[in-house]
Structure 1
Amino acid sequence: MNENTAQQPTLVKPVFLHHEKVMEGLTMIFGSSRNSVKISDPDVLEMLRIIPISPDSISLLSGIMGTGKSTYAQAFTQVFFGKDSLGMIKCDPDKTPHETLYGTDVASETSYNYDSKDKLIGTREMFVFDPQALAFVTKPVKFANEISRSGKSVQDALLGLFQEGEIEYRGKIFKTDRPYIVLLDQNPLHLQGMGARELEPALVDRIDVSISIPTTSIFDDLAIQQNKESETELKPILDYAIMKEVFADVRKVRKPLALKFMTLVMSQSLRVCKYRKDISSPIFIESIDCTRCEYKNDICSAIEAPTGHRHIESILKFAGSRAWLDRREEISLEDIIAVMPFALSHRLKLKSKAYMDSESTYSWIKEKALPFIVKQLNIYQEMLNEYIQTFNGSKNGLLSISMKCGGNLLYQQMVNRLGEQLLTQGNKEMDALERSILDMKEPERAELERVLAGIQDLKITTMVSSLTLKELNDIESQTEMLNRYELEEKVSRDPKGERDKKDLTYQKINPLTKNIKSLIQRHDKIEKVIKQALTNTKFEIQLSETDFMKKVFPKTVKYLDKKDILEFGQNLKNMIAQTIGNVKLQIVRIDDTITLSLESDDRKDLSETRRMLGL
């Protein structure tokens, strides 16, 4: 997180294009038309309403036969995109990528052979094979039925299509329409046999949300039977061209930096251990016994392997769609919490003990993890406030973050990042200061005094420079768990005046205090240079004797000893050393060159003397 004060680009707000039509379409899909879908679980229903407006999304629907997975895919395609926008494949363990994703057009061509007199002597028939992509590859809505029954090669091919937006077959590149919506479905009963298999981990991580479609209730079944007798058919409300406009508008929903941060820290709660930095390490899994840990009842003890980072993108993407449906210009914490179980349930790997109290990963996240995480939200908000305060120049914010570092791995990650950003921002401040000094060719005293006073306006530089030695030592001791080994070169001065001695050391250093000390040293150096310029000032100029006698000499007559001036002008002496007020003046003639120098402890006096002499 960079507290850069640079001007931010103007935000483009969503205008909720075609919102009324979208809401009308959703009412039809989950209403009383003949092919409407009936879902009793309100959370699942909400996610199914979000999917059609979530661009470039991949969703996995799990449920037994008859729960409406295929009906849902066909219904929202017909209402929002048009029936011809659906590309569907039915997966089978025996099918290859060629059989699943491609087809081949076969055409025959007849060639005619002639002799030298253009007389036909024979014909030859040739067959041309032209590979073509099936609708699943090219259409904007892609539905893979029974994805868990597909082979590894098919899943690898799908991964390439979803990742790159195109796929190659026999030298031809086939591109998909973008944005697209991908629906994968599976029957959990098939995972127990019938050629089904677990999905490839890389494909699983690309899936944005996983939704378990519940079996229909008595009232759902009754509504379905009534719908079948309805004379109302689903009809197209929008088309793909209009949906592109909707997708573009959904992407404009603002995702504030503070809420992105909260999403990240909530995610970290499911990825870290109180004592180890990475719970995905094989050494961790083999060597740590959570039952002996003081935090054995915390959510970290139930996690066998953490997720990657893509679920964060999925959460923010679907949170934006949820906010758009509610006609809100930016996402809320409620959006994030609502989407999180669906974005994590297929990615998070739990230990077997977690399933003793929860029937699935989804229910564990919803019933165990989220209540714990929500309780920590005040801590996360305080963490964010302290981080922002630090970049606003608050020393107390930095000291507070450092003090809490020892018992909280999230704070440790923040401090690691904080040290790097303090150095970057502090150096930017001092780079700007140095440039302003270099732009002054011959600065007046008042200008240098303004620069010296301006150092106090540098937030980061002033804050770190105000740290006392005790406070620096406290920060170092409180963040010692962040220490790392680094190779350093130390230079020691030789008292005999011979060559300096260079020694290489490989030792533990604290990255935070190292960066802070680096900023302090640079600050002190710049401040020292400016103060020296204010207290020890000298001016020197060389002129030809002709120019000196013509331009400068007449003005010196007013302020210097008349006898010395006369003798210098008659070449009876080659040096004058006198004072004008508090300024020492020296004029030296060497051959035909005159060197005039002025020196004073006060830059103001020096500037005034130069003005009087026309220099």
Structure 2
Amino acid sequence: MDEKAKNSAPAAASLMEEVLYEVKKVVVGQDHFLERVLVALLARGHLLVEGVPGLAKTLTVSTLADVIHGSFKRIQFTPDLVPSDLIGTRIYNQKTGDFSTSLGPVFCNLLLADEINRAPAKVQSALLEVMQERQVTIAGETHKVPEPFVVMATQNPIETEGTYALPEAQVDRFMMKVLVGYPSEEEEFVIVSRVTGVAQAVARVATIDQLVQLQAKSRALYVDPSLIQFAVKVAKATRDPASVGLGDMPRFITFGASPRASINMIEAGRALAFLRGREYVLPEDVVDVVGDVLRHRIVLSYEALSEGISADTIVSQILQAVPAPEKPLEAHVRVAASG
């Protein structure tokens, strides 16, 4: 295979398929969740995951870290957690009389923040800087986290006692929010068989350096201006539903999505197109990620909550009111991309 073939989108997608194949040796089902984890990795975004305990969220991320030969850390968020438990602190050495820096568990490639809403605001704000700036500040010194760096935070939808609501500024830092449901009866049978049987070993089919290269290639995919315009219209519709003919919807929305949502729709759609082996983005790539990108960014009013209207319902109506652009001709896209 020549160098050009190695660098092609289909070849890169093939490598990601190998990664997915190895992860699925251990994790059963959860195809949508696994796909979104890979999208977040390629797009350098963070993932907020909501699901009851026992659905292999931790297992998925730890297995993925093994497959790509990356570092993995898990932090159990509790009410007594302090920022230094997260980012690190300065330690005084009595023998030398000097201070040394002890770096916290955020210095890894894949960070699992388990039950993130159980930690107080000061801990959540400490995570804010590292998610956005990919660095932490300890005693005035700045320390960069390794690349790639992806935070996957989980929330338990069942228990609300003893939890702290995530501030909107932090929720907006997550590229996508994914809902993880129960497996089917057939999938659960396979899960029980695997867990109670001989443990499956996974192979390391990619390296961190390869993943960084794939991130750069994914970011180079061509995005037609009509798709950017579509993403902007969808995001604006969450702030001003009447502008797209949804005049009865404003009473259900307290706050809509920020411009970061438009950016994330394009970035996630581009990563999804890359996973699908294309060198350009199609409308269905962007449409497929709209729900995950907007779900956590729409703040519902009390009226919406009382009537049982969810953010997904609102997103579905917006997508009906804002049609996706027509699929561009492949030849035209390739000419525009090469130009």
For Structure 1 versus Structure 2, the TM-score category normalised by the shorter chain is 0.7 to 0.9
Residues 20 and 295 (structure 1), Cα distance of their counterparts in 2 relative to 1, 3 Å cut: closer
Q: 2:208 aligns with which of 201, 222, 240?
A: 240
Report if aligned partners of 1:36, 1:234 keep a CA contact under 8 Å in 2. Answer: no
Q: 2:126 aligns with which of 118, 136, 157?
A: 157
Where does residue 306 of structure 1 map in the other structure? 256
Q: Does 1:129 align with 2:79?
A: no
Where does residue 579 of structure 1 map in the other structure? none
Deviation at 1:21, TM superposition (A): 2.4
Amino acid at match of 1:247: Q
Report if aligned partners of 1:80, 1:239 keep a CA contact under 8 Å in 2. Answer: yes
Where does residue 372 of structure 1 map in the other structure? 321
Residues 362 and 68 (structure 1), Cα distance of their counterparts in 2 relative to 1, 3 Å cut: farther
Partners of 1:44 and 1:356 in 2: how far apart? 29
Where does residue 418 of structure 1 map in the other structure? none
Residues 264-279 of structure 1 correspond to what in structure 2 (within 5 A)?
Answer: 264-274=232-242
Residues 130 and 231 (structure 1), Cα distance of their counterparts in 2 relative to 1, 3 Å cut: closer
Partners of 1:103 and 1:74 in 2: how far apart? 25
Residues 45 and 131 (structure 1), Cα distance of their counterparts in 2 relative to 1, 3 Å cut: closer
Amino acid at match of 1:349: V
Partners of 1:92 and 1:74 in 2: how far apart? 21
Amino acid at match of 2:284: E
Partners of 1:45 and 1:329 in 2: how far apart? 22
Where does residue 140 of structure 1 map in the other structure? 109
Residues 18 and 337 (structure 1), Cα distance of their counterparts in 2 relative to 1, 3 Å cut: closer
Amino acid at match of 1:177: P
Deviation at 1:201, TM superposition (A): 1.2
Residues 270 and 168 (structure 1), Cα distance of their counterparts in 2 relative to 1, 3 Å cut: same
Residue-pair matches, total: 318
Partners of 1:257 and 1:15 in 2: how far apart? 23
Q: Does 1:15 align with 2:4?
A: no
Amino acid at match of 1:162: M
Where does residue 47 of structure 1 map in the other structure? 36
The normalised TM-score by structure 2 is: 0.85
Amino acid at match of 1:183: M
Partners of 2:227 and 2:17 in 1: how far apart? 27
Where does residue 510 of structure 1 map in the other structure? none
Report if aligned partners of 1:145, 1:185 keep a CA contact under 8 Å in 2. Answer: yes
Residues 504-519 of structure 1 correspond to what in structure 2 (within 5 A)?
Answer: none
Where does residue 168 of structure 2 map in the other structure? 201
Could you give the per-residue CA deviations for residues 448-486 of structure 1, whole angstroms, max 9, x where no partner exists? xxxxxxxxxxxxxxxxxxxxxxxxxxxxxxxxxxxxxxx
Residues 166-315 of structure 1 correspond to what in structure 2 (within 5 A)?
Answer: 166-190=135-159, 192-193=160-161, 195-228=162-195, 229-274=197-242, 296-297=247-248, 299-315=249-265
Deviation at 1:132, TM superposition (A): 1.7
Report if aligned partners of 2:28, 2:187 keep a CA contact under 8 Å in 1. Answer: no
Report if aligned partners of 1:97, 1:154 keep a CA contact under 8 Å in 2. Answer: yes
Partners of 1:302 and 1:218 in 2: how far apart? 36
Could you give the per-residue CA deviations for residues 568-614 of structure 1, whole angstroms, max 9, x where no partner exists? xxxxxxxxxxxxxxxxxxxxxxxxxxxxxxxxxxxxxxxxxxxxxxx
Partners of 2:104 and 2:53 in 1: how far apart? 26
Residues 252 and 350 (structure 1), Cα distance of their counterparts in 2 relative to 1, 3 Å cut: same
Structure 1 unaligned regions, length at least 5: 1-13, 110-125, 276-293, 382-615
Partners of 2:60 and 2:312 in 1: how far apart? 21
Where does residue 72 of structure 2 map in the other structure? 86
Partners of 2:123 and 2:271 in 1: how far apart? 30
Report if aligned partners of 2:76, 2:114 keep a CA contact under 8 Å in 1. Answer: yes
Where does residue 475 of structure 1 map in the other structure? none
Where does residue 54 of structure 2 map in the other structure? 66
Residues 333-372 of structure 1 correspond to what in structure 2 (within 5 A)?
Answer: 333-355=283-305, 360-366=310-316, 368-372=317-321
Report if aligned partners of 2:51, 2:179 keep a CA contact under 8 Å in 1. Answer: yes
Amino acid at match of 1:97: P
Deviation at 1:296, TM superposition (A): 4.6
Where does residue 328 of structure 1 map in the other structure? 278
Report if aligned partners of 2:12, 2:277 keep a CA contact under 8 Å in 1. Answer: no
Partners of 1:208 and 1:295 in 2: how far apart? 26
